[in-house]
Amino acid sequence: MKYINLQEICKELNIYEFGVASWPLPENAKSILYESNPCPFTAANVEERLLGTTLFRPKSAIVCLFPYHVDYQGPSNLSRYTWATDYHLVINEYLERLIERLQTTDESALFSIHCDTSPLADRYMAYLAGLGFYGKNNCFISPKWGSYVVIGTILTTLELEPNTPLDQSCMGCNRCITACLGKCLGHDAFKYDTCKSYLTQKKGELTTEEERIIAKTPLVFGCDVCQDVCPHNQNIPTTPIPEFQAIEPFIDIGELDTLTNKEFKAKYGHRAFSWRGKKILMRNHKIIKSKKV
């Protein structure tokens, strides 16, 4: 096992929270990740969730947390994770710089980046790397940054000293379960199909009940209710990441009607809500304005 001062390298690159998960993964990984009714936005194949799209056999996983919380209490119609530059773009830039530095220590090493759009089970990898624990709200929770974090992972042939999972858990207050708009928490499995965040991204016809859930809060994309009420998210620091500090919590839905799809992509393509297109946002806005809850 070659010694690499990962802490020093990450500090130089302003990566504030990271850990290492060893490979191969635990024997019970498949049973932990198995879901009888997985969300369509999650890979159903457990093997894919364990390896992502990696073509080589890793020896370590470097897992990094990127906090995005900003203390803002004003009007918003977007979920917090979409307020700034799309985290996929930000994380990839940071991890690419990290790989460049690591390659100088071993030119033969192989690397692959995984960030949400990969099937890799990012929350599970972060747990193995000792970065936090699972909440009853189905979110990954960092002791320092709460659940307002996004996760990026580098799988590599470098053999690095692994961390161990934290001996800490959600306090189990059940506030997220009580507050959930679609009552999708607190069951044997996460009922994704009544989660407002999922429904604001769902295409096609919506049922009356689905529209009722969407109309419960002003957000036209995503939902933060279960995070807002979580005690683990109280008094957490503002993100130190510059790309996440410049926020735009509100989108003018009226303007969207004047934009072509090409113009919409040009203006909002760097935002995490843009992948579903403007019509979904306009539909959700119409539901919120017209429904009486």
What's the pLDDT tens digit per position in 215-254?
999 999 999 999 999 999 999 999 999 999 999 999 999 9
In which band, very low, low, confident or very high, does the pLDDT at 1 lie, cut at 50, 70 and 90?
low
The residue-averaged pLDDT of 257-264 equals 96
**Which pLDDT score, from 0 to 100, does residue 25 have?**
83
pLDDT tens-digit map of 102-123: 999 999 999 999 987 676 889 9
Please name which of 189, 188, 181, 172 lies closest in space to residue 226, comparing C-alpha atoms. Answer: 181
Q: Max CA-CA distance within the chain?
A: 62
The residue-averaged pLDDT of 136-149 equals 97
Tell me, letter by letter, the H, E, C secondary structure of the chain. Answer: CCCCCHHHHHHHCCCCEEEEEECCCCCCHHHHHCCCCCCCCCCCCHHHHHHCCCCCCCCEEEEEEEECCCCCCCCCCECHHHCCCCHHHHHHHHHHHHHHHHHCCCCCCCEEEECCCCCCCHHHHHHHCCCCEECCCCCEEECCCECCEEEEEEEECCCCCCCCCCCCCCCCCCHHHHHCCCCCCCCCCCCHHHCHHHHCCCCCCCCHHHHHHHCCCCCCECCCHHHHCCHHHCCCCCCCCHHHHCCCCCCCHHHHCCCCHHHHHHHHCCCCCHHHCHHHHHHHHHHHHHCCC
In which band, very low, low, confident or very high, does the pLDDT at 4 lie, cut at 50, 70 and 90?
confident
Residues across the chain: 293
Residues with a catalytic annotation lie at 116
Q: Where are the domains of the chain?
A: 6-69+81-156, 175-290
**Which pLDDT score, from 0 to 100, does residue 292 have?**
56
**Which pLDDT score, from 0 to 100, does residue 43 have?**
61
**Which pLDDT score, from 0 to 100, does residue 104 have?**
93
Question: Is the pLDDT assigned to residue 36 strictly greater than 90?
Answer: no
Q: Which residue has the higher pLDDT, 214 or 24?
A: 214
pLDDT tens-digit map of 61-73: 999 999 999 999 8
Please name which of 208, 202, 205 lies closest in space to residue 221, comparing C-alpha atoms. Answer: 202
How far is residue 25's CA from residue 166's CA, in Å, rounded to a whole number?
16
